[in-house]
Structure 1
Amino acid sequence: MKRLYFLEKRVHQKMDDYETYSFTDRQDAALRAFFDLSQEYESTEDLYCICVVIVKAFFDLDAKLYAMLNGDSLRLVCTSHQGLIKSRDEMRVPPIMVYSEAEEHQGSCFFPVIGNKALIDRLPSLCSGEVLGILQIEDAADLTKKDRFFFQKFANRIGYALHNKILVCKNIKHLRFIRSLVKDIEHNIIVPNIEFKLYIKRIQSEVKKGCDLEKEFGSLLTRTDIKIEERLKLLRVVHENMSQSADMLQKQVENVTKHYKNTSLFLETLLRRSHFEKGHYVLNRRSCKIKEDIILPQLEEYAKKIKRNRIEVRDEYDSPDREKPMLVDKGLLAQVYSNLISNAIKYIREVKKEGQSLKYIAYGREILEDYFLKDAHGFKYYLFSTGPHLRKGERDMIFVEGYRGSNVNNAPGTGQGLYFFREIVRVHGGIVGYEPVPYGNRFYFILPPSHSCLQGMGKNYPRG
């Protein structure tokens, strides 16, 4: 009941406030129209337009709306002249535009658009502080003190509406990420972990075989119906079989251990608490050599499948002896290579070159001079596999979530692997791509030099 009484008191305070405001009928109608329309339309872009259209339609005044789109960076987003602003050049405004209270400048009035102070900590990192934007009323010389008071209140309403839109967009994005993350966990961990069943069956088989040999060994020790020489001969055979079984069991344990380490790396990476809290992949960068620490272990993980499918593996690394560490998220990038290698094994096809049959995958790295900026080289990593090229119409679609190319035939898959590949490279600040090359297909990604690696190095960028 205390809460009810408190809120009732606030309602009466608001009633008194509105009496004090003494807005005109037109101003009241403008606020009501804004409230209704801001609820009716869901997108932030529509809200931008509604803000300036209300000012123009009700008061015949031109208006501009600015919004915080990147931390402390204010951008022009909509005007009553042009509507939504798309050009990045037009969006730029000087820092002086960030007003914390109403200001008049060159014939215009600028009103800060302030968010809900009680929920300010829930805003994403693209917003900084309470000011979410600025409402500019042009040709404002004739505005009275009451008019200016009204427009500040109107800007406050914009702030609350914009705040809610931002939070809704943030929550939707968060939920989409978690849905995608669940798919990544299923694709990268749950499905591959079926391999554990095979290992367990093999271990169980060897354990049973060992138990049978132990019984046979014990039986031979107690038999008196055969000569000692014959018994020793049989015991040696049983002992040899027991040794072979023990060796096989040891190999299976090593396989399980290796698979467990790889799975644990993937689990730790995908189930990282920060992913769920932030609503996007959060990198845990570590210094590592991509070939030595990521590519080769993943190739080893698929070694049996590669051998079973009679696939040759080629190293096309440029100057591998000069590879220097890069700062990357080892676990996430390992899963990128796991997906690329798995796809290569599934979709590889034999091709002919000068009458010779070729069936191989190749991994490599190239350094692209000044790719990102002057002296900021790009590091291009790729995985090639032989086979027919993808159709031209599919090449831009293969990185879309859930999309599968026409070359899949009956191969199992979900269309999640290349989407995951794109997202992980993107959060590393890189780009992904596909290119048809002679005798097959090449999937690649290009990473910028790691900023932490560059400190104190001048132009000596890490080559790896």
Structure 2
Amino acid sequence: MSEAHFPNEVDDLDHLDLNDDERIDYVVSRIEAKLLDYDGYNFSMRQIRALNIFFELAQELRDREMFYAVCMAIPRALLRLESSIYILEDDDTFSLAGCTTGHCDKSVTRTWDDQFTDKLVISDNQMFIPIQGNPEYNDKLPFRPPHNIIGNFVLHPCNNLEGHARLFLEKYVNRVGFQLHHRMVGARNREHIAFIKSMVQDIGHNVIVPNMYFKLYFIRLKRQIEQLHQSTASVLSILNQSSQKESVTEGNKLARIASSIETQYQEIYSHYESTSMFLETLLRRRHFEEGRYVLDKREVNLRTAIMEPLVERFHKRFKERRITINFALGGAPDQMVRLIIDRGLISQVFDNLFSNALKYTETVTLDDGRRGKFVSYGWKIIKDYFGNEKPGIRLWVTSTGRPLDLEDPMEVFKPGFRADNVARESGTGRGLYFVRQVVELHNGQVGYSHSENSNQFYLILPFEQEIAG
């Protein structure tokens, strides 16, 4: 095996793509380096045991106050030193977290000064050792700790403390810092989870339930529009009998207004239905409870439940950008297919694909000579794709334009990816990553292919159907 080159700093390792052998080699090299370090420290057996005891008790006693007690008890038992611990609460404020003496005469709060610094300080028979955190977890805290310091460990009496004992205490406090930082992050994560659980309940009460009432309002509005049509028809009938041209003209104008109101109502209601479904799907309570997308799979008619509503919703926007849905690019829109999927999430998958087509479709000349911007979609059942008697269904959206310049076709499905043709269009680079997440949750696959003048994004799902009883 060839010798691997490793970085000097552990943080740099996260930016390397190491294989299994290289990882093992790296860790072995770090172990050997640590062994040499400990040889240089020349700690006594009692000091080494004290470090081991600290790690064991830190795992055994999970309460925050008990953890502080463990941290301060080790120096007392080993070196007969009293101590106190301060924790950095914000950029500039240290708060007293624990003290070994029964009556603690320490200040409740401290700020950065000539004793609380980023260096070890001995002053007034006391040793002030800054508690360093784990820099990899600094972004998990409410603020970024200055100098990577998350607290201060104060010990006394220290005037007669030997240099070797000071070295031990420095190394000991380093271990305290990493343990403390992990606990701070854990506490913040628990607070975050509690907040999410509370937010989910608020979403249900303040978003989902009120959203359900909108449907009732739409039903009432639909009835009033129908009554408006009936009244308009009656007025027109009466006006036509009167033979007054001006009145008939006004009546026809009223009919056009009523028709326009109904058209706008249909557009708004269609938008409400899709938005409501997306809202309830993305804010599904189980997503938050389990920390991942959770599928609600049911058998649906692919064409009528997903594709046609989406095509209808995008029709006006396609028209505004002079994009035509044309199946010369391939497609099977008339094939009736029922399959078991999460309707809300798969609808959002195709919403993302149509949104991309809306933004990035370009003008080309088709093989039949027509020139313009074209989009097509379709699906095809693939026999035994996922194994014997386990068919798949391939679904796609194709749009005209230059092929993407990619070394790896799957690159487009990585979070944050932005192609070279998106300069004028807004986006986060997360749409296709979301597509991939949802499809893989369905145990499916995503992919990208292209021809000379078109790009196709596709997904292949297990073709599952309900068994007839």
Structure with more contact order per residue of length (Cα contacts < 8 Å, sep ≥ 6): 1
Q: What is the TM-score with the length of structure 1 in the denominator?
A: 0.49
